[in-house]
Amino acid sequence: MKIESVNNSKIKEWVKLKNKKYRDEAGVFLVEGDHLMNQALIKGVVEEVISTDETMEIPGVPFYLVTDSIMKKLSSQVSFPKVIGVCKKLEEKEAYGVVCMLDNIQDPGNLGTIIRSAKAFGIDTIILSKDSVDLYNDKVVRASEGMMFDLNIIRRDLEEEIRKLKNNGYKIYGTDVLKGNDLREIAFSLKSAIIIGNEGLGMKEDLKTLCDDFIHISIDCESLNAGVAASIIFYEVKK
């Protein structure tokens, strides 16, 4: 059966998922395109498949064939994909391994870059502050290029998490261009947690008081994009 009306109840339900409020209520989010769909299928989080192509049907997963106009309405991209997946939100585990904490990161592209770099350089857990951009924002999902499915990404109160990590033997590193030690001189252990601050404001002062040490990146310019800075730090941590 093909859904052809934008007034169909399922279409209205899916369109609402563009809004964070409804994603939170339903516990699901949308992924667009073949690559993200394949990554989500590997992780077993796809609950429904929506497509303009009947050959995209996945055995055992509810499938909905729709028109181009409906797919365009559901998509957040200018050039809409031929397949969209409705996926359940990722399981959140307690922080483990090498940890990155993100304090009020606002740019979806930055978060997507940080997720990709975290996967590339062996970061195990990302902890998003409660005021950071939504992990399931469509731009974050696309920018992560599917790497979000391979990490433990949780949203927590950072002060509480820092205290828990310290009680578990972690060393907490803040980022500070003025009083931080050169990143290349730090010997990171497996129980390290690095805090990346807001794009324009840096880390909150309350969090700085909880840090054990501070690091900075020696560069020949005033500042770096948060995603780029995190990538450099992750590379050094892996070394």
Separation CA 52–CA 74 (nearest Å): 12
Q: Is residue 195 part of a domain?
A: yes
Instruction: Give me the amino acid identity at 216.
Output: H
Task: Answer whether residue 93 is part of any domain.
Answer: no
226 plus 121 within the same structural domain: yes
Could you give the CA distance from residue 161 to residue 183 in angstroms, rounded to a whole number?
23
Same-domain pairing of 185 and 153 = yes
Give residue 221's pLDDT: 52
Q: Are residues 186 and 139 in the same domain?
A: yes
pTM of the model: 0.92
Per-10-residue mean pLDDT for the chain, 239 residues long?
91 96 97 95 96 93 96 93 97 95 95 96 96 97 95 97 96 81 82 91 91 81 74 86
DSSP string, 7-51: TSHHHHHHHHTTSHHHHHHHTEEEEESHHHHHHHHHHT-EEEEEE
Strands, DSSP E only, in 89-143? 99-102, 125-129
Domain identity same for 189 and 227: yes
For residues 146 and 234, membership in a common domain is answered with yes
pLDDT of residue 178: 67
- Residue 130 included in any domain: yes
- Residue 75 belongs to a domain with what CATH number? 3.30.1330.30
Work out the burial of residue 187: count CB atoms within 10 Å of its CB; fewer than 13 is exposed, 13-18 middle, 19 or more buried: exposed
| Position 94 in a domain | no
107 and 78 within one domain: no
Residues 54, 143 share a domain: no
Cα 181 to Cα 111, 186, 239: the distances in Å are 25, 8, 17
Q: Which amino acid is at 105?
A: I
pLDDT of residue 175: 86
Contact 171, 212 (CB under 8 A): yes
User: What's residue 222's pLDDT?
Assistant: 58
Closest Cα partner for 166 from 199, 205, 192? 192
Please check whether residues 119 and 221 belong to one and the same domain: yes
CA–CA distance, 139 with 221 (Å, rounded to integer): 28
Same domain, 234 and 187: yes
C-alpha R_g of the chain: 20
Residue 131 structure tokens: 């005021």
Residues 41, 104, single domain; the answer is: no
What pLDDT is attached to residue 224? Answer: 67
Range of the domain at 67: 2-88
d(CA 85, CA 63): 10
Q: Is residue 40 in a domain?
A: yes
Structurally, the chain folds into a number of domains equal to 2
* Domain membership flag for residue 141: yes
Q: How far apart are CA 224 and CA 231, in angstroms?
A: 11
Whether 42 is in a domain gets the answer yes
- Yes or no: say if 91 and 28 are a contact pair by the CB < 8 Å rule: no
Tell me the CA distances in angstroms from 221 to 44, 45, 175, 190, one per residue in order: 44, 43, 16, 31
Q: What is the CATH number of the domain that holds 212?
A: 3.40.1280.10
pLDDT score of 110: 92
Half-sphere exposure of 177 (CA within 13 A, CB side): 13
53 and 107 inside one domain: no
How far lies 200's CA from each of 31, 100, 107, 135, 168, in Å? Answer: 29, 18, 11, 20, 31
Q: Are residues 80 and 153 in the same domain?
A: no
